[in-house]
């Protein structure tokens, strides 16, 4: 359906109203800069008995969709909904946090994954990788083949820090990668890096600072480079950044993203169209109404650095003056080791976050992050861990490869029994 949001704009909204309705309302989010409804998420959540709405990411689409969707739900079923929920990742994660910050009455429970918050700065950071590497003729450019060498060395240096050598870095905070170990020695030019390339790799894994030394965005966490090298370090200005600066920041289609500077990043941050940055740390209105926020981020995310999520959690903590023991009442954050961007990766990434993340998993609160949110809101059963599953070749019919209980931040996973590392009981949150 079409819903007007101003005298010159409208959104497209769709509602799925299941016959097995549980009395719960849910809104889904979007991804990237997509202007499309995410039908996979509509089907997933409606299949679980939620009256679900999704919109096309238009002007004020999420809040408008919630208002209209709740009215539709009540009218269709002839009774009011009992509880209201949200599920989204990436842009959808940012939309969820935007709701918590600006529309605290919309949802009783919000599940926000890999949120694209600090959005203007995130976009500048994504564009800065071209400034670091240059194009594929630059002396600082690192080919995908050499990024594979870097990836191997990242795990040589950091995989064992959690107590198990398993191709997964449980806490990238502990991985302070030293690319100088790959520097080509005299007479060697195979599977090694030149000095300009070493400098580029170190910059990729370093925080991005801007005007007057202010932090623009944290580093890319080590471990994600195989995929990130195809998307962000490929010698081409990142398309999302190019379009954001052309059409949202400068409103000039002729803007050349190859010339991006820290001044451009500062201007984007200052302009912040429609307060899209989504960085308000005061969630007291959501807290006071009894809302619950479950935030997760994959630690091999190749598009949005997982270092930014704990930065936001800590921002909320200091803004509200609440230590983790008090934040736990309404806000819990989980780092999902070995998960890529919202799903996939070598870790136990299937946590029930969408259809593909629930396939083959037990449909219970411990193994499904959406059902866990329902348990927290309706029965007060807050999560201490989130259990993820890794199937062989990510195919449930081939059987379980391993299961892992992901820790509530600021705790991290440590392997106490490396011989039995595939057993979840071999890992402890410390």
Catalytic positions are: 90, 301, 341
Distance between CA atoms of residues 125 and 244, nearest Å:
12
Cα angle 255, 261, 267; round to 5: 75
In 245-302, alpha helices (H): 262-271, 284-288
Distance between CA atoms of residues 220 and 344, nearest Å:
18
Distance between CA atoms of residues 41 and 321, nearest Å:
35
The residue assigned the tokens 């995908």 is 144
Exposed e or buried b per residue across 262-281, where buried means at least 16 C-beta atoms within 10 angstroms of its C-beta: bebbbbbbeeeeeebbbbbe
Helical (H) or strand (E) element with 208: strand 208-209
Distance between CA atoms of residues 279 and 260, nearest Å:
23
Instruction: Please return the burial class of 176, using the count of CB atoms within 10 Å of its CB with bins 0-12, 13-18 and 19+.
Output: exposed
The helix/strand/coil state of 227 is helix
Could you give phi then psi for residue 37, rounded to 5 degrees? -70, 140
Q: Minimal CA–CA distance to 216: which of 97, 305, 125, 307? A: 125
Answer for the pair 132, 140: CB distance below 8 angstroms, yes or no.
yes
């Amino acid at each position: 359906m079409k819903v007007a949001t101003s005298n010159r704009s409208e959104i497209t909204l769709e509602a799925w109203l299941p016959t097995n309705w549980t009395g719960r309302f849910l809104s889904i989010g979007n991804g990237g800069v997509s202007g499309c409804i995410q039908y996979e998420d509509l089907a997933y959540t409606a299949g679980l008995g939620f009256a679900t709405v999704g919109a096309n990411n238009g002007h004020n689409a999420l809040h408008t969709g919630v208002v209209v969707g709740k009215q539709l739900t009540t009218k269709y079923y002839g009774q009011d909904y009992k509880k209201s929920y949200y599920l989204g990742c990436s842009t959808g994660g940012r939309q969820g946090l935007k709701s918590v910050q600006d529309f605290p009455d919309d949802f009783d429970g919000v599940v926000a994954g890999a949120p694209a918050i600090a959005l203007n700065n995130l976009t500048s950071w994504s564009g800065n990788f071209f400034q670091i590497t240059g194009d594929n003729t630059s002396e600082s450019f690192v080919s995908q083949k050499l990024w594979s060498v870097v990836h191997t060395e990242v795990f040589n240096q950091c995989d064992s820090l959690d107590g198990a050598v398993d191709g997964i870095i449980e806490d990238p905070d502990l991985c302070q990668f030293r690319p100088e170990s790959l520097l080509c020695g005299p007479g060697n030019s195979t599977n090694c890096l030149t000095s300009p390339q070493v400098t580029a790799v170190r910059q990729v894994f370093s925080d991005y600072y801007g005007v007057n030394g202010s932090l623009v965005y944290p580093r890319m966490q080590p471990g994600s480079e195989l995929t990130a090298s195809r998307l962000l370090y490929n010698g081409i200005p990142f398309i999302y950044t190019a379009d954001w600066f052309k059409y949202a920041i400068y409103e000039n289609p002729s803007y050349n993203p190859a010339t991006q500077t820290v001044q451009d990043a500062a201007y984007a941050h200052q302009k912040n169209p429609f307060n899209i940055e989504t960085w308000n740390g005061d969630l007291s209105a959501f807290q006071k109404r009894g809302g619950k926020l479950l935030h997760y981020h994959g630690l091999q995310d190749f598009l949005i650095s997982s270092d930014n999520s704990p930065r936001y959690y800590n921002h909320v903590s200091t803004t509200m003056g609440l230590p983790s023991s008090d934040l736990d009442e309404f806000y819990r954050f989980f780092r999902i080791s070995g998960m890529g961007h919202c799903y996939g990766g070598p870790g136990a990434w299937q946590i029930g976050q969408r259809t593909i993340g629930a396939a083959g998993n037990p449909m219970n609160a411990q193994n499904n992050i959406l059902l866990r949110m329902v348990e927290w809101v309706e029965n007060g059963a807050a999560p201490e861990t989130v259990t993820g599953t890794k199937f062989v070749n990510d195919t449930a019919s081939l059987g379980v490869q391993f299961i892992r209980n992901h820790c509530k931040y600021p705790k991290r996973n440590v392997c106490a029994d490396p011989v039995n590392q595939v057993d979840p009981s071999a890992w402890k949150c410390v």
